[in-house]
Structure 1
Amino acid sequence: MVTLKNGKKIGGLYGYKSFTSNSPFPNEIYLEEHWLLDDDGDLQRKVNDTAGILILKDEISHLELNNVMEQ
């Protein structure tokens, strides 16, 4: 869960195809799956027909990381 500086929250999966950049490149995080959130801010479902989401460091307030149990 990514919380942006404007308060908006973005859900996604940081998996094997995801990445975070490092120096000397601009800081950013790529989440391989973008997820919609319900009214309570919980992950609801994966967004269809997307290749993920790229978020720039300057937009991020903080990240919340959770373990995912594979089924």
Structure 2
Amino acid sequence: MGFEKEPRIASPEEKGKTVTEKYADVTLRLLEEHGDEFGPLTPEAEKKLRRKLYLRLMVLLSAINIMLFV
């Protein structure tokens, strides 16, 4: 088990091109690749997404609660 090298800091003209995937943020990469495909959320779409996330979270929490009860 050795020490890993720290990534070097890129100059302004190299910005974003020298960081290896090992150190890159996956979410940022996904946004860069697919961020332009989707526009801003409309209030209706945001409400629908919030309900969907809430429902999935409540199902998960309910299942955990039932498992703990048993």
TM-score normalised per structure 2: 0.17
Q: Which has the higher contact order (CA 8 A, sep 6+)?
A: 1
Higher strand fraction (1 or 2): 1
Between structure 1 and structure 2, the one with the greater Rg is 2
Higher helix fraction (1 or 2): 2
TM-score normalised per structure 1: 0.17
